[in-house]
Amino acid sequence: MIQTAHFKIDPRLAMLLGETYRSTEHALKELVDNAWDADADHVWISLPDAMTTDPIVIKDDGCGMDENEVRKEYLMVARDRRSGRGDRTARKNRLVKGRKGIGKFAGLMAADIMQLETMANGIITYLTIPRQELLKANTDLEQFELLITTLECGLGEHGTVITLSDLNQSFSFPTAERLKELLILEYGRQTDFKIHVNGDLLGMEDIPGDIFNHEADMPGAGPVRFRFKIVDKKQKLKNAGIVVRVGGKIVGKPGYFGLDDEEDIPHKILKQVFGEIEADGLADDTTADWGAFVENSKAFQVMAQWAQQQLRQEVLRKYKREVNLAKARLKKEINQRIAKLPEYRRAYAEQTMERIMLRCYDQSEERMKPIMSVVLDALEGIPDRI
Ligand SMILES: Nc1ncnc2c1ncn2[C@@H]1O[C@H](COP(=O)(O)OP(=O)(O)OP(=O)(O)O)[C@@H](O)[C@H]1O
Ligand SMILES: [Mg+2]
């Protein structure tokens, strides 16, 4: 006899899907990604003070959802929103981040109660998802009754507020600093998506690492302000590079002013650079669509050359410091061998070793050792001039 069977879904699935985040801060980023997808201009996150029972609140001014959308889109598990609505957002044409249809459960990792309050099309909809009750429920996830309430609101009002209360005590308290670091690496370049954490607008200062500031008055371009950071190797930067901002608008894509074509600069370290140049005086040197600078603009070329120099200087300095730190042991051995060379050959040997070290920035000490050794053998083997 042939019959049909059906999957059953334990409500615990909602928790399992929310448990894959490394930290509460990572889980919160998921909710910020939802605000991005909702075409929000702003998202405000407020984190509770330590030792209080205050909730975490994530508020955005995006498109929001009406009751129907909450039921059909928000509560639909594992739906790829791009299949129905494409991979660009409707209003701002942003590349959509949501793809798995499970990000909403991130909130349940951090808290026992997740409340959604969302406004669109003249309706404000409230929905509560209680973690403990879901866990205890002896029913199918689809059958679990969630409380949903609606009220009328102004037709033009839109946006969403997620409130996470009864925070999970077994996780360390989310800190504004860590959350900012995480968000700035992803969203640091966006001019139309402003993130506020505990009232502070996220900016370049929130990127971990030393900040470099250079200012100059350029012929043709006027006053130019260059700020950049070189982040730690461990940090993964999205959109690394330097952008040029003219009148607040970013022109073209992040780049390195030709430094990426230079042989002595390893690409890997350039991926750790994040910064911007403000050059309002270049307004007449951009292409009509602001997609690039006019190639033969003298003012731009002068500025680019100056920027390259500043960048080169700091990058090399940082890079040498990193290499020296990482390869300290190897360096000691090399120095011992160099010390035994005839004096007139030492400076050349030191320079050669330094060049090799910098070139082999990405290599492990074990890999570098034989290369260094062969070169030193050669240097030691050159017969002395008479
Ligand atoms: N802040 C929000 N504003 C408006 N709509 C939202 C918001 N958060 C979620 N939604 C809607 O609910 C849907 C489900 O969100 P969820 O985060 O669970 O999945 P997703 O974003 O589609 O994919 P992913 O799992 O990759 O995040 C979204 O696709 C979106 O339609
Ligand atoms: Mg999502």
CA of 272 to the centre of ligand 1 (A): 31
The pLDDT mean for the chain works out to 90
* Ligand 1, atom 11, residue with closest C-alpha: 74
Does 21 sit in the ligand 1 pocket, CB within 6 Å? no
Using one digit for the tens of pLDDT, what is the confidence trace for 16-74? 888 888 899 999 999 999 999 999 999 999 999 988 899 999 999 999 999 999 999 99
Using one digit for the tens of pLDDT, what is the confidence trace for 307-357? 999 999 999 898 888 877 777 888 888 889 999 988 998 999 888 888 887
Could you give the percent of the chain with pLDDT greater than 70? 99
Where do we find the tokens 């100059």?
Answer: 216
Ligand nearest to the CA of 38: 1
Give the SS3 label for residue 78. coil
Does 71 sit in the ligand 1 pocket, CB within 6 Å? no
Ligand nearest to the CA of 81: 1
The Cα 177–Cα 25 span in angstroms is: 10
CA of 109 to the centre of ligand 2 (A): 15
* Ligand 1, atom 10, residue with closest C-alpha: 74
Q: Strands 241-246, 273-278: parallel, antiparallel or unpaired by DSSP?
A: parallel
Give the SS3 label for residue 188. coil
- Report yes or no on whether pTM surpasses 0.85: no
- pLDDT band, residue 385 (cuts 50/70/90): low
The Cα 224–Cα 280 span in angstroms is: 8
Does 81 sit in the ligand 1 pocket, CB within 6 Å? yes
Residue 386 pLDDT: 46
Does 290 sit in the ligand 1 pocket, CB within 6 Å? no
Closest C-alpha among 222, 204, 226, 219 to residue 280:
222
CA of 79 to the centre of ligand 1 (A): 9
Using one digit for the tens of pLDDT, what is the confidence trace for 237-284? 888 999 999 988 889 889 999 999 988 788 888 999 999 999 999 999
Using one digit for the tens of pLDDT, what is the confidence trace for 202-219? 988 888 888 899 999 998
Say yes or no to pLDDT of 291 above 90.
no
- Dihedral angle at the C-alpha atoms of 273, 275, 281, 286, nearest 10 degrees? 70
Ligand nearest to the CA of 117: 1
**Side by side, which strands form the sheet with 241-246?**
210-218, 222-230, 273-278, 241-246, 249-255
